[in-house]
Amino acid sequence: MPIDLFIYIVIAVVLVIWLRNTIGSKHGSETDRSDILEQIKERQRQADELKERGRTVDLTLLKPSSLDQTESRTQIETLPIEGGEDTMKEISDYIKSDSGFDPQTFINGAKEAFPMIVEAFAREDLRTLKMLLSEGVYASFEQAIDDRKAAGETLATDVHIIKDCKIMGIKRIDRMIYIKLRFIAEETIVIRNREGQIIHGNPDKLVTMNDVWTFGRDVRSKDPTWYLYETSDDVAEELQNPIPDSK
């Protein structure tokens, strides 16, 4: 084999390995969420069975845990937040009214929920979306999926890593508590037409997406689940976000 041909083969192999490691596979703090999704599906199945018998069951995604005052103050000071002292005060005030609320546990749960929702929307998994979205946001997502189907388009989205998740504020309106979060995530997004041709995005390119989501729950309800109540964008992005804006 000529030496120059051998050198070209070695270079090609190195490039393929590098591309697979940096673009073609998930990385960073990404975790396997299959177990979590199966747990949620099992809880939903149990809920459906119990409803048939006239009973209800709690379906918790973002599970609270108790904190004493010293622990809560320490955690607030180290939390990733936007809004400075105003946001810190909102978090502190809410903890005083709900001592079982752990903001870091909430953030961790939200970071698990974000890719589950984004990827369920892409694969048109309405059952998973129904478990995690409020009625209004679910209606927006369902309509977007119907529009996509009518256009003969398919969407493939993979959340590779959540680089940041910050609390932007906590508001109480009547009996509802809303927590606004900013997610910065690296994703691959591809939309294909009915012929399978790519019309949006690139499967080999990571793009940084900036999403502002608001989770909420009824404080008087026995259901402790935090549902997604609002989705929006407040900064220009390199690639148009396929997630519908429900604001």
- The pLDDT tens digits for 159-188 are 999 999 999 999 999 999 999 999 999 999
pLDDT of res. 145: 97
CATH class of 31-232: alpha beta
- The stretches in the chain having pLDDT less than 50 are 5-8, 10, 13-30, 50-60, 63-67
pLDDT of res. 27: 40
DSSP category for residue 81:
B
pLDDT of res. 20: 43
pLDDT of res. 21: 44
Claim: this prediction has a pTM higher than 0.95: no
DSSP structure string for 1-15: --HHHHHHHHHHHHH
* Residue of 114, 129, 121 lying closest to 185 (CA atoms): 114
Q: 240 Cβ partners below 8 Å, 6+ apart?
A: 200
Checking DSSP bridges between strand 207-218 and strand 176-192, what pairing results, if any? antiparallel
Distance set, CA 77 to CA 37, 70, 140, 161 (Å): 32, 11, 36, 25
User: Would you give the distance in Å from CA 102 to the centre of its chain?
Assistant: 19
pLDDT of res. 233: 85
